Structure 1
Amino acid sequence: MLFFLANGYRVVAHDRRGHGRSAQVSDGHDMAHYAADAAAVVDHLDLRDAVHIGHSTGGGQVAAYVARHGLPAGRVAKAVLVSAVPPIMLKTERYPGGLPIEVFDGLRAGLAANRAQFFRDVAAGPFYGFNRPGAKVDEGVIDNWWRQGMMGSAKAHYEGIKAFSETDQTDDLKAITVPTLVLHGDDDQIVPYKNAGVLQAEILPNATLKIYEGFPHGMLTTHADILNADLLAFVKA
């Protein structure tokens, strides 16, 4: 956000419902509500010609917002999906390369049993690739990821697993006609790139795909200098 401010852009971000500083409501923890909430923010601020950038589950939210709200209202200029979850993470007949339901059941079990330790383990391990041999571990990044996680609602996080893993967003991707940049690391241990970024680029009508060799899921943090430069080039183009 500071990078784009320094380059003369207005920057708007929001915490997803039940996450961060947003209200810890009891329901609506699904992709449709995530998109509608984003639309409420955009409408309230009357944003136009916006570039929507979403990471991971936020990428699913961007796809849902742009397809269902942004394009019909004429408010979106471009979109960016970074390490994003569409079209669907779960293994299905339509997408046999997805992950089995047991993976997501394991996430739910770990979160319910000891959320604090679960968040610590995810951040210190696969999210940023800190579990790879020779990786430079950044304790500040781990602490901040844990801090942000623990601010949110356990119920929102638990039910959000279903939202990010089981929502088939093929139709959302097909409906996005604006230029869309798809970025993914080929060492993403959270959202495997072949069933995500590669497929997104195949389904989107107007996509540009870039795969980063050796980059992890949290590459916006670990490789901010490279990602920021590429994002800026796309926004300016």
Structure 2
Amino acid sequence: MPFVTTQDGVEIFFKDWGPKSAQPIVFHHGWPLSSDDWDAQMLFFLHHGYRVVAHDRRGHGRSAQVDTGHDMDHYAADAFAVSESLDLRDAVHIGHSTGGGEVARYVAKHGEPAGRVAKAVLVSAVPPLMLKTEANPEGLPIAVFDGFRAATAANRAQFFLDVASGPFYGFNRDGATVQQGVIRNWWRQGMMGSAKAHYDGIAAFSETDQTDDLKAITVPTLVLHGEDDQIVPIADAALKSVKLLANGTLKTYPGFPHGMLTTHHDVINPDLLAFVKG
């Protein structure tokens, strides 16, 4: 299987499909998943002639289950290691949830000076800051994330099943069409990763203030968010992020859940393609 080794010796798994001469679309997955969560988007863009690349974050999926580096700086550096190894340039980087934070940090620190990034997309993404603080009173209390940590440590398998069966895809809403295959695939991806990476990653996605990352991004950036996102509430994420971006565009979707890339890929994918081509 294809791996790249980072500067601190971590093996990162990646997928690289399609013509190497085509413009690359790079996908960054959410917590606690893997690059497999991008199946619907990778096949879609592959069929439209693009080169598609996605990696498993350290400690997630098929990447090394190391016990250190589970923070946004290392996440972005690992993504850079993949991009540098494959010499990806003029790429469009698309991140979901925690992966959106990874994209923001990557573009701000590694992407633009080297001409590696043409555009960015933040989907249901965690920036600028999920945690409630004095400066961010609309955020979620630390008790919410402490609960995530407790559930991950106590019975990760059950917690992951509960998240996928309920709020992640909006399957807890009245009238929702519950898709058992989607739930099982989410659980499968999560349980492939390490409990240590998932436990530490909660702080990474909830307590990292990425205001400065967003301000530093100058490439065209599309911000997509479901208005019924129960995981990353839109008011404290997308609605704030677009105001911090120098070249941002916001598109929201009434009733769509956090996992809308899976449940509503038939709607989201054409919007992504229009932005990439525009």
Shorter-normalised TM range: over 0.9
* Deviation at residue 92 of structure 1 after TM alignment: 1.1
* Deviation at residue 28 of structure 1 after TM alignment: 0.1
Which amino acid is the alignment partner of residue 48 of structure 2? N
1:110-167 alpha-carbon deviations (Å, 9 max, x no partner): 1110000000000000000000001000000000000000000000000000000000
Which amino acid is the alignment partner of residue 25 of structure 1? V
Partner of residue 112, structure 1: 153
Matched residues in 2 for 1:194 and 1:75: separation? 31
Matched residues in 2 for 1:139 and 1:82: separation? 23
Matched residues in 2 for 1:95 and 1:178: separation? 26
More helix per residue = 1
Match of 1:30 among 44, 68, 71: 71
Which runs of 5 or more residues in structure 1 are unaligned?
none
* Deviation at residue 95 of structure 1 after TM alignment: 1.2
Higher relative contact order (CA 8 A, sep 6+): 1
Partner of residue 44, structure 2: 3
Match of 1:50 among 68, 87, 91: 91
Partner of residue 160, structure 1: 201
1:180 matched to 2:221? The reply is: yes
Match of 2:152, SS?
helix
1:48-91 alpha-carbon deviations (Å, 9 max, x no partner): 00000000000000000000000121110000000000000000
Partner of residue 188, structure 2: 147
> Matches of residues 202-217 of structure 1 in structure 2 within 5 Å?
202-217=243-258
Partner of residue 124, structure 2: 83
1:130 matched to 2:195? The reply is: no
Runs of 4+ in 1 over 2 A off after TM superposition: none
Partner of residue 218, structure 1: 259
More strand per residue = 2
Partner of residue 121, structure 1: 162
Which amino acid is the alignment partner of residue 137 of structure 1? V
1:185-208 alpha-carbon deviations (Å, 9 max, x no partner): 010000000100000100000000
Partner of residue 107, structure 2: 66
Q: Give the TM-score, by structure 1 length.
A: 1.00
Q: Give the TM-score, by structure 2 length.
A: 0.85
* Deviation at residue 93 of structure 1 after TM alignment: 1.6
Partner of residue 103, structure 1: 144
